[in-house]
Amino acid sequence: MLSDKVAIVTGSTSGIGESIAKTLAKQGVKVLVTGKEQEQGERIVEAIKSEGGAACLFISDLLDPRTPDQLVELAVSEWGRVDIIVNNAAMVCNKPIEDITHDDWDRLFTVNLKAPFFLVQAALPYLKAHKGTVINISSINGKLNDYHNLVYDTMKAGLNHMTSGLALDFPQRGNTRQCFNASRGGNTFARGLV
């Protein structure tokens, strides 16, 4: 069912994103691995290829507003389509209220909310054409606040709300938007996605 689909997985050079990328590849999905870690990313791509999967690496920074378009352009140039967007990348800000800065708010808003939206927007023609799927990786912090975690918690709550909004504005039959609260890490969580 997933064979020859194409996925972009942000933040997939480590952690949950790495597990998602590898799990999708085992299902026959061609995966664009993207994140900040060059060596780790190369290792993940090689691991996928060594098991017969297809993957390529794009080292990126979601603080750069050009990145969403670049990711879609690369996936399309490599494989001609985009079927799955996994918005996994996120930044954290563990600070007491009195130490939080404008820069903290701006960085987390850009990476945790703005970039996911613009990645979906950039991929929208392909998602519509192929009845694609958007998976936003949220957190239990989007529902329950944690100590010294206000900015991150707020962004994850916003991601939950954005996912609901995508469902309203992108209602075509067959297109799906999902939001997962990542309270577990690693392969167990990733296996639950497919």
Identify the burial level of 39 via C-beta atoms within 10 angstroms of its C-beta, where 0-12 means exposed, 13-18 middle and 19 or more buried.
exposed
What residue type is 141 in one-letter code? N
Q: What is the pLDDT of residue 184?
A: 39
Residue 120 phi/psi, 5° resolution?
A: -60, -45
Q: What is the pLDDT of residue 176?
A: 60
Residues annotated as catalytic are 138-139, 152, 156
pLDDT mean values, one per 10 residues, the chain (194 residues)? 94 96 98 97 98 97 98 98 97 95 97 97 95 88 73 92 86 60 45 41
Residue from 135, 156, 132, 134 nearest 144 by CA: 156
CA-angle at 75, arms to 133 and 130, nearest 5°: 35
Per DSSP, the three-state class of 57 is strand
CA-angle at 158, arms to 193 and 32, nearest 5°: 40
Q: What is the pLDDT of residue 167?
A: 84
- Over residues 173-183, the pLDDT tens digits come to 555 656 666 64
Which two tokens mark 124?
Answer: 């929208």
- Cα separation, 102 vs 56, whole angstroms: 35
- Over residues 81-103, the pLDDT tens digits come to 999 999 999 999 999 999 999 99
